[in-house]
Amino acid sequence: MYNSLKIWMNGELVGWSDAKIHVMSHVAHYGSSTFEGIRCYDTAKGSALLFLDEHVRRLWESSKIYRIEIPYSETEIKDAIISTIKANNHKACYVRPLVFRGQGALGVNPHRASIEVAIATWEWGTYLGEDVLENGVDVKVSSWHRLAPNTLPSWAKAGGNYMNSQLIKMEALSDGYAEGLALDHNGYVAEGSGENIFVVRHNIIYTPLAAQSILPGFTRHAVMHIAKELGYEVRETLIPREALYIADEIFLTGTAAEITPVRSVDRIPIGNEKRGPVTEALQHEYLKIVHSGEDPYNWLTFI
């Protein structure tokens, strides 16, 4: 990880090494944080943030679910994100806005803890490794399931929720895979540790339902929109595990992962074991927007 010069913390830009919290902060004991991951691209028209408004809105929604009142406005956070990128002289970067409960309470009841906000930016390349956008990744079905409904709110992007993701990811890496795929509490395909999943069979694109304890991502939304414009049929539906093994193509989507092909599941090859034609067509249209800056959907915010 490459350190940047500055981090925005509670209204001020401070040095990377000076952005510290106390060990008795509530978040360190109970995972009480909400956050986002945003990409800033160096487009042909200049640096631009992808889905800035949507990410900041979800930060507020995640915080509302967890009864966290952010002490800034959405506009202030958007301005702070742009200021942090400029302070770090980034043309392209990953952005991490973080809201967390600080000192003032140590117990399950968090209400007396302070609410603190930080924004970090750093340079980050391909999330799942080099050359994966063409060659794909090997994944496994995890022994860990996604959360059952009404246990933890999966639509909230919250720190504590990602303990489940860590188990999925660590198991996959330990077993020699790049990523793990989680099933839902009923045994249907849900998502990766940090990505949504799409399955292509007979030229129809399938993806799990938003109600299946997944975090419906903005890249997922973009892919569904682009796919429909390209003439593909997209179905949100229950996907049984065995559908993975007989898929023509599978790909993962996310802010960090972008659109990443899957070449095998549980060592069973998918298609020709690299990027398929549907995945390639979707990648082309998506990456054309973030590289050229030609944005017919108003998804980009230029700095």
Buried/exposed code over 34-72 (b: 16+ C-beta within 10 A; e: otherwise) = bbbbbbbbebeeebbbbbbeebbebbbebbeebebebee
Q: What is the CA radius of gyration of the chain?
A: 19
Structure-token match 């298609």, residue found: 271
Evaluate whether 80 touches 96 at the Cβ level (below 8 Å): no
- CA–CA dist 93, 120 (Å, integer): 10
Evaluate whether 119 touches 38 at the Cβ level (below 8 Å): no
Buried/exposed code over 143-172 (b: 16+ C-beta within 10 A; e: otherwise) = ebbbbeeeebbbbbbbbebbebbebbbebb
Evaluate whether 138 touches 178 at the Cβ level (below 8 Å): yes
Distances (CA, A) of 263 to 134, 182, 266, 296, 298: 10, 17, 10, 31, 32
Q: Specify whether 157 is catalytic.
A: yes
Evaluate whether 250 touches 217 at the Cβ level (below 8 Å): no
Select which of 6, 140, 157, 169 is catalytic: 157
Q: What residues form DSSP beta bridges with 78? A: none
Active-site positions read 157
